[in-house]
Chains A and B, each alone.
Chain A
Amino acid sequence: MITLAQVITLSAILFSIGVYGALTRRNAVGILISVEIMLNSANLNFIGFSYFAERPLLTGQMFAIFVIAVAAAEITLGLALVLAVYKNIETIDMQKMNIMKG
């Protein structure tokens, strides 16, 4: 039998993996992938709570649908930004994007 604690533990593990990836990757697209992993772990949390509620609860699944839509819009804009930056400096290595560094 699945318990709520197991779903939450899985979601916490995935979130930490996403945090590690976002802090470590040198590549702009790699950072975007790590942010998407974090968003998916939060979605899993919502769906888990919606399943283990006392009565049939729709709120978790509605929230998850909206999170999926907003995350898709966000990664579209993030990748458009990456392409625009690549046109100027020919690389997507984050260490080299330091024009505004004091």
Chain B
Amino acid sequence: MIAAVQSMVFFFLAAIVVASALAAVTRKNLFHSALFFGLFLLGIAGIYLVLAADFVAITQIFVYVGGVVVLISFAVMLTSRIAEASQQQISEQREASLVAATILLGVMLLVLNQAFSSAKTAVPKEIGVALIGKALLTSYALPFEMVALLLLVAMVAAILMAREDTP
């Protein structure tokens, strides 16, 4: 019963995620594309919750939906005039890209399904926030500090690049 409900929820969220990703890459209006991208990120966070990754799901909502989508909306509003928002979005190489993406998908599905086709049933496990916090400060201390440095550098560089040119 629980397994059936889990399966149903996963397929429902997977349908939402694939549909909104397709809409995000094909809509002509760039703001609609950003909003479908936000829906895609919310669906991915739901799938993380189904796969017992609570902390990563909440981090995804805070950082991606609450930060990245807002940033993209700012950038879209600041860089497109109203008449230009729905102009021709698809480039001339649409057919070739479709063929390339389909071939990539086919090869990936072939290889991965052969490698991972044995039905592994999952042992339900809880990885709590306390475990992640402890690991961040003991085993993963070096990547933690490096990501902190990276975020500082990115912040300074973004402010520098986007400011007015004052002589």
Contacts and interface: CB of A to CB of B under 8 A. Distances in A.
B44 A44 contact: yes
Chain A interface SS verdict (over half): helix
A76 B155 contact: yes
A71 to B, nearest CB: 8
B154 A73 contact: yes
Contact of B18 (A14, A40, A62): A14
A72 interface: yes
B24 A62 contact: no
A80 B91 contact: no
A56 B113 CA distance: 24
Contacts, number: 230
The 10 closest A-B pairs by CB, nearest first: A21-B25, A23-B97, A73-B154, A16-B105, A20-B101, A80-B158, A12-B108, A80-B161, A1-B3, A56-B125
Given A2-B51, A50-B51, A76-B155, 20 more contacts: A1-B7, A1-B121, A5-B117, A10-B18, A17-B18, A17-B21, A18-B21, A21-B24, A21-B26, A26-B91, A30-B25, A43-B56, A44-B48, A55-B123, A58-B132, A65-B55, A68-B63, A72-B63, A79-B71, A92-B79
Interface of B: 3, 6-7, 10, 14, 17-18, 21-22, 24-26, 30, 33-34, 37, 40-41, 44, 47-48, 50-53, 55-56, 59-60, 63-64, 67-68, 71-72, 74-76, 78-80, 84, 87-91, 93-94, 96-98, 100-102, 104-105, 108-109, 112-113, 116-117, 119-123, 125-127, 131-132, 135-136, 140, 143, 147, 150-151, 154-155, 157-158, 161-162
